[in-house]
Amino acid sequence: MGTVGLRGDRGAILLSLMLGTFLIAIDSTILATAVPTIVHSLGGFSQFPWLFSIYLLGQAASVPVYAKLCDTFGRKPVMMFGIALFLVGSILAANAWSMTALIAFRAVQGLGAGAITPSSMTIAGDIYTVRERATAQAYLASVWAISSVAGPTLGGVFAQFFSWRWIFWVNVPLCLLAMWMLQRSYHETFERQRARIDLTGAALLTAGLVLLVLGVLEGGQSWAWDSWQSIGCFSSAVVLLVVFGLVERRAADPVLAPWVFGSRVVMTTAAASLVVGVVLIGLTSFVPTFLETSAGAVPLLAGLAVAVLSLGWPISGALAGRFYLRIGFRNTAVIGSVLSVVGALMLTVFSATPSALLTALGCFVVGLGLGLVANPALIAAQSSVGLRQRGVASGTNMLARSVGSSLGVAVYGAIANSVIGARGGSQSATAVQAGSTAVFIGVAVSALILIVCTALIPHVPIVDEPAPGEPAVR
């Protein structure tokens, strides 16, 4: 087992983690309002969905590899590498000369984001005690709430008054600031292991996940579910992931160690995180369209309704620590799941009389519930393993949520398209309303599944130990 020594101001470290998280969060939303301008400049209208898909692909597929590297070489070098790679991708994207080039450079950004996600969560787990982690994770979650509002607004401002390229240029000073703050405030003494990098396992896992997420993202969109493209993606993904499992059983230092699948805590919390991703993407993807078409809401108001979802998350996430210290991780997560069901049922009922205010209220309740699930689930996984496994535990949790979002997009998209098509098409407000109601029902069913997942989380003893190096950081 290794040790981590810390020197510095924990507040400054958390601020640098929040800035790094802000980079990847805002780049998930900032492009949305600038797409027409980008297409007008570069062409390639049929390719523009890849600007979002490739970013998610790069991030989701690389998280497990970076999570393992966090436990092998330390959190700081992986975090710094991720920010640096994101910086390079941003500079390249700002100078893109075609839609194909921009898509390729978005992939570079996604690979950088894949390193930032598990590193920031693991560092927060390292420097804060179990009692404090809920608040720290809530601060990190609040970044997503801010970016959900700031991203589309900034994208529209840059596209309308300056140039869409500033969407990427603005990342340069932010990346440099995040690296400077991390370098200045976070001094990590990590006992590095002498380990061989499992390149074969990393390549197989990355390729398998890329094909799996690709099949889910594009199935029913770019090609039919029963087409040779879908069949090829899914069958190849299964083969690669099976071979990956066989290789990892013999690897000296596997990327995804067998203990992950043997840990009931890690697997059940990952299952809960997967469903959280499904619920989250269902609302963020369909609420704006529902309000704009059915309630006649302007895009800004529709976006604010979704932002309220992200607002409820950090509020309850900050309070989660008080709950799980008294009643445990599992019970706290179950309460959150029940709240999510209540919020989803509210949305289903309110959809009969479309209202931006009532929809926002339902989203807020769902957000409160998800905050009581996501943070305790992650902290339970981190608390159940040793220091050398914490990065992998965090990365598994983040990967599950990303895969859940990808699955949610496909499942809810298929539900909505089926209902809307049967009711007269997307030009009909009544059809869109019916399709959205079907999605809200699907979200409620997913939330019910979330109750089952959280109820299966085993008891994790809560030991409020001092964070590593605590006397030096306070």
Q: What is the pLDDT of residues 207-259, one digit of tens each?
A: 887 787 777 767 766 777 788 888 888 899 899 988 888 887 777 667 677 77
Terminal CA-CA length for the chain: 25
The values of phi and psi at residue 427, to 5°, are -80, -15
Helix orientation angle between 264-294 and 429-455, rounded to the nearest 10 degrees: 160
Q: Are residues 184 and 280 in the same domain?
A: no
Q: Are residues 335 and 449 in the same domain?
A: yes
Q: Are residues 269 and 379 in the same domain?
A: yes
Give the domain extent around 61: 1-195
pLDDT at 453: 93
CB 391 within 8 A of CB 67: yes
- 334 or 384, which is more confident: 334
Q: Is residue 257 part of a domain?
A: no
pLDDT of 204 strictly over 90: no
Q: Is residue 258 part of a domain?
A: no
Q: What is the mean pLDDT of residues 149-157?
A: 68
Q: Are residues 170 and 188 in the same domain?
A: yes
Of 150, 180, 195, which one is at a domain's C-terminal end?
A: 195
Of 180, 195, 210, which one is at a domain's C-terminal end?
A: 195
pLDDT at 466: 47
Q: Are residues 339 and 364 in the same domain?
A: yes
CA distance 443 to 435: 12
Of 207, 225, 252, which one is at a domain's C-terminal end?
A: 252
pLDDT at 471: 34
Q: Are residues 107 and 127 in the same domain?
A: yes
Q: Are residues 233 and 190 in the same domain?
A: no
pLDDT of 1 strictly over 50: no
- 451 or 410, which is more confident: 451
- 217 or 344, which is more confident: 344
Q: Are residues 306 and 449 in the same domain?
A: yes
Going by pLDDT thresholds of 50, 70 and 90, the confidence category of residue 44 is low
Report the chain's mean pLDDT, rounded to a whole number. Answer: 79
Q: Are residues 246 and 272 in the same domain?
A: no
pLDDT at 319: 78
Distance of CA 362 to the CA centre of its chain: 21
Q: Is residue 218 part of a domain?
A: yes
Length of the chain: 474
State the CATH number of the domain containing residue 417.
1.20.1250.20
pLDDT at 192: 59
Q: Are residues 283 and 370 in the same domain?
A: yes
- 345 or 314, which is more confident: 345
Q: What is the mean pLDDT of residues 153-164?
A: 71
How many domains does the chain divide into?
3
Q: Is residue 228 part of a domain?
A: yes
- 365 or 472, which is more confident: 365
Q: Are residues 310 and 403 in the same domain?
A: yes
pLDDT of 280 strictly over 50: yes
Going by pLDDT thresholds of 50, 70 and 90, the confidence category of residue 423 is confident
Q: Is residue 74 part of a domain?
A: yes
pLDDT at 474: 29
Going by pLDDT thresholds of 50, 70 and 90, the confidence category of residue 424 is confident
Q: Is residue 99 part of a domain?
A: yes
Q: Is residue 151 part of a domain?
A: yes
Q: Global pTM?
A: 0.75
Q: SS3 for 170?
A: coil
Q: Are residues 139 and 50 in the same domain?
A: yes
